Structures are given as structure tokens and as C-alpha cells.
Chain A
Amino acid sequence: MIHNETLPGRIVKFSGLGICLLLTVFPLYWILVTSFKDPGSIFAYPLKYWPSDFSLDNYRGLFDQSNFAVYLVNSLIVSTVAAAFATVISLLSAYVLARFEFVSKGAVMGAFLVTQMIPGFIALGSLYILMTKLYLVDNRFGLVLVYVAVSIPLCTVMLRGFFENVPASLEEAAMVDGCSRLSALFRVLVPVMTPGLAASYIFNFVNCWNELFLSVTLLNSDSHKTVPAALNGFISSYNIDWGSMSAAAVLSIIPTMILFAFASRYIVEGLTAGAVKE
């Protein structure tokens, strides 16, 4: 298997990989093509596999007929802020979990890992009641707080893995030279870990950007909705307008794809290490 790769074997392998690639990319291609079609030709036979009548009318329609710009801004704010808080908080906890031994360490790690087995929406009802009591329902800041909490466990586990790749002697040297622990962390370790931190931030951002059930439940008014919550409204209507729907889908996929493209290598590293370790 390692040395003797035959020609037929190679042909099978590369055509197999080609088919997989085609199948993977096609749904994205299709939504892109649909979104750039003339609204009239979306529902016309024969289906066109290439938008010969290239038009931006679907996008125009989307922004004219809905508050999509508002949803985009909401999603952007909520995800940016939540990801930032989650990353900083996780940085601190990951540092402790990576560098120190203490009695309840196993319990903390266990509590964090358990949340990964239980979906965030499992206690949706009682979370809603809690948020009502805190006056945080239909409040984007409230959603940020919940997203921070949801993001922390996995982010901590990932960052802990990155910390373990950095020798402890590094910050110890800094502390010998007179740094406090906190400034050793931020002045010495953080610069070394920038790729891992950026990847964790992006990972958090994408997860918040994509989150559906919490935002649907916790936000009511239209002007507070995030993109997934708004899309949920779109598809619940009896007659889906696939023209603007496809435009909306493209606009919500593109940002995360670009971000992921930058960070995918580190995210894979962090996730596979974390999962293989468990």
C-alpha cells in the first residue's frame, strides 16, 4: 500500500476523489447559480446550469423586501463580540488547565466535555425562563452571553491543546525576568500562539454566526433577529421565494467560508487532537 500503487489503483483513487469533490461542491455551486439567475428564470424549464442571464435582482429583492441588512449587522455584532469574549475567557481557563495540576481539574475538564455531548438546545425552555428572569429576552446582549457560555468549553479544550505545544520554560523565563504571570501570558505566550488563537476565534465566530435554535428562541422582534433566525422565518412561510432565499443563503455562507479557509488547518488540528485525546 505504501510503495506499490498500481496505475489502475491510481485511476480509481483519483476519479473517486474527483467525484467526491464534485458532489461536495455542487450544492454550493447550485445555490450560487440560482441566486444569480433572473428571478423569472429560476422557475422555468429547462433548468439552466449556468446563469446566462446573470442578474443581481435576487439580491436587490432580498434587501428591498426584508430587513436583511439589519439581520446581517446583528449577526456580525453578536458573533464578533461573543467570539471575542469566549476566546479571552477560554484563553485564561485553558492556560490554567494546561499548566497546573489541581484537585478538581478532572472535574472541570469533565464538566466541559459533557457539554459537548449535550446539545445547547436541550434545556431551551428553562434557559428561556432564566433569561426572562434576567430581563435578557429579546436582547442581543443576552444572546451574546449565552453564546459565550456555549463556546467556552470546546474553545478551552482546543486552546489547552495549543498551550501544550508551547514549552512552559518560555513563560517561566519571562517570569524570572520579572514579568507577572498575567503579563507573561499576554506578552510571551499569546504572541507565540497567535495562529491557534485566531483559529479559535474564527471557530467561535462561525459557530455563533450559524447558531439557530437559541437565537430563534431568545430573540422576538424583527429588528433584533440574526440571520439564521430570519432565515427560519423565510422558510416557514407557505410559499418560499427561492430567488431571495438563495441570495440570503449565499450571503450567510460566504463569510464563514472565507474565515474557515484561513483557519481550517488549525481548526482541524485542534479538533482532531481534542477528539482523539478524549
Chain B
Amino acid sequence: MALTDTDRPALKPPTRRPVTRRRQFTGRTALIMLAFMTPAIVFVGLFTYYPLLNGIQMAFRNYNLNDLSDTSWVGLQNFRTLLDDEMFRGTVKNSIVWVVGSLVPQFLIGFTMALWLRRRFRFRGTYQALVFFPWAVSGFLIGILFRWMFNGEFGVVNDLLMKTHLIDTPVPWLADAKYAMAAVIIANIWYGVTFFAIMILAALQSVPDELYEASAIDGAGKVRTLFSITIPSIRTTLALTVLLRVIWIFNSPELIFGMTGGGPANETHIVTSYMIQVTQEGDYGRASAMGVMVVFVLMLFAIFYLLAIRQRTPRTTGRRAAA
């Protein structure tokens, strides 16, 4: 960068207000700011936003890599084909099962863990570091790990279940459509619990102890404290974390790719994993149409969700969450 300058006299040393950020900056400063921002904007613009916008127009074209002789505009045909596609409708249903089935247990277990971890105890730091490890691993590899554990013949899950006499014969977890979705969801619950635990724990630690002391003095029991102190205090964070998670779980087909590849008989495909499969098959038009639908639906969901929690939250007090 050629801005490592020596002509510093042009820079008037700031005299007033070191704290407030509102400042009159000179043309030179503006130039430096621009130079600092440009690489980030160029990269994100070129490799993220350009393909994104280009993908939108592809959704309205007949664009198949296997036959590029005719890439004409076809209006809404890609969308119509999808909505008529039995398989696609199945993946929509699967996505809902996948999101709800993963999110609710993740939330409940994560919340419980966060409550347990709220008070300091010896080795709490070590404990957190240990349960933190799934974060370092990709969903894809988690899928592979669980694919092995849920193996029908030599999987450890069947072995443990049989040892404890919960089942008599091995369950073909990933080969049978009846069980495959459950197995994939179990793996995903496992993968996401610590995320919730950590987010909720961070929120819990922002609740002042005095609130708990006051409620203890007022004779509130544990359950009462949970519902009248804890949950209301961290409601905003809880609501936003749930929103983030819904979107992320919906958008995370890696685990499914690692564990089942969408099988058996496409029973574990969700919309995004199906989208990737269609992309790999070369039908970019249809895949883009799916992408557009995904983004559109998730945006609508986020908007309605945010409106709903705003109505329910009577004027959020200036908590950490509002910063």
C-alpha cells in the first residue's frame, strides 16, 4: 500500500474530543478510509454479491450446463417445475422437520447447560473448552463421525442399545427411511447444543446478580426466578439466537452430506442439500430458482419473526443486547 507516507504535516493532530467519534475529517483521511475499505468491498462484491445477483437472473433462464445451446429466458418456469416436483416438496417438508427437530432440543439442552454453567466452579473453564470442541469440526466431518456410529452392522449406537437391551436386533439407521431422518437430526442436535449453551451463557452473565438476590429475598422459588427474572432479562438474546439458528440450521446441509448424502431414497434431503445436488447435476437454472426461494422465504421469516418479537417485548430496556 502506497499510503505509508511521511508528509505528516498535512495531518492536523486532533485536539478535541478523543472519546466521541464524530469528527470532521480531511480529504486525506477520507482517502485513507477509502483505501482501507476498498479491498474488503472488492472481494465481497466480486465473489459474493456478483454471483448472488447473477444467480437471480439465472433463476429465470433455462440454464443447464449439460446443454448450453439454449439459455433463453423462461420466466417463472423453473419455479413452476420445482413446485410441481414431488421431490422438491418432500425436501421442503424435510427441511421443516430438520429445523424444528434440531432446534427445540438444542435450545432446551443448551439452556439447561447454560444455567448449570452460570455459577463459577472449579474447572469450569476447562469444562467449557472441552464441550466447545464440536465448534472446531465441520458439519461434514460430524456427519462422517455419526455415519460411522450409526452404521447398521458395526455401529457403536446399535451396540450400546443392544447392550442395554433397549433393542434386540440392530437397527439399520441410515439404510431405512423410517430412521434415517431421526439419526441425522440426533447428530445435528449434538452438533448445535454447545452453540446455544455458549450464547445463552454469555447472555446470562450479563444479568446482574442483584436481580437474583432481590428475587431470593422476595422468596421466589427456582422456577419462579427462571420465568420471572432469568428469561425476561435475556429475552432479546434468546429470540435473536433462535432466529440465527433457524436460518443456519436451514442452510447447513454439510452434516447431511457427510452422514447420508441425502439418502436413503432422498429421504434426508433438505432444500439446501437438494439444491447443491441439482447444482452438481448442472441444472443451474433450477438450482438458482431454489436459491432465490430459500433467500426469499428466510427473509420473510426473519421479518415476521422480528416484528413478532418486537410486539411482544415492551420497550426493551438498554441492556447489553440492545447495544
Contact = CB atoms under 8 A, between A and B. Distances in A.
B36 A96 contact: yes
Contacts of A126: 51-52, 54-55, 58, 284, 288
Contact of A119 (B49, B251, B320): B251
Nearest to A267: B135
Contact of A175 (B13, B142, B276): B13
A180 B36 contact: no
Interface string B242-257: 0010010001101001
Interface in A219-273: 228, 231-232, 235-236, 242, 245-246, 249, 252-253, 256-257, 259-261, 264, 267-268, 272
Contact of B190 (A3, A27, A212, A276): A27
Interface in A99-130: 99-102, 108, 111-112, 115, 117-127, 129-130
Nearest to B5: A180
Contact of B148 (A102, A111, A245, A252): A245
A108 B37 contact: yes
Nearest to B194: A24
Interface stretch (A64-72, A145-153, A188-196): A145-153
Main secondary structure of the interface of B (DSSP, over half): helix
Nearest to A210: B138
A23 B22 CA distance: 51
A169 interface: yes
B153 to A, nearest CB: 8
B307 interface: no
Interface in B254-299: 254, 257-258, 261, 272, 275-276, 279-280, 284, 287-288, 291, 294-295, 298
Interface of B: 1, 3-6, 8, 11, 13-14, 18-19, 21-23, 25, 29, 32-33, 36-37, 39-41, 43-44, 46-52, 54-55, 58, 63, 65, 109, 112-113, 116-117, 119, 127-138, 140-142, 144-149, 151, 153-154, 156, 159, 190, 193-194, 198-199, 202-203, 209, 212-213, 215-216, 222, 225-226, 230, 237, 240-241, 244, 247, 251-252, 254, 257-258, 261, 272, 275-276, 279-280, 284, 287-288, 291, 294-295, 298, 302, 320-321, 323
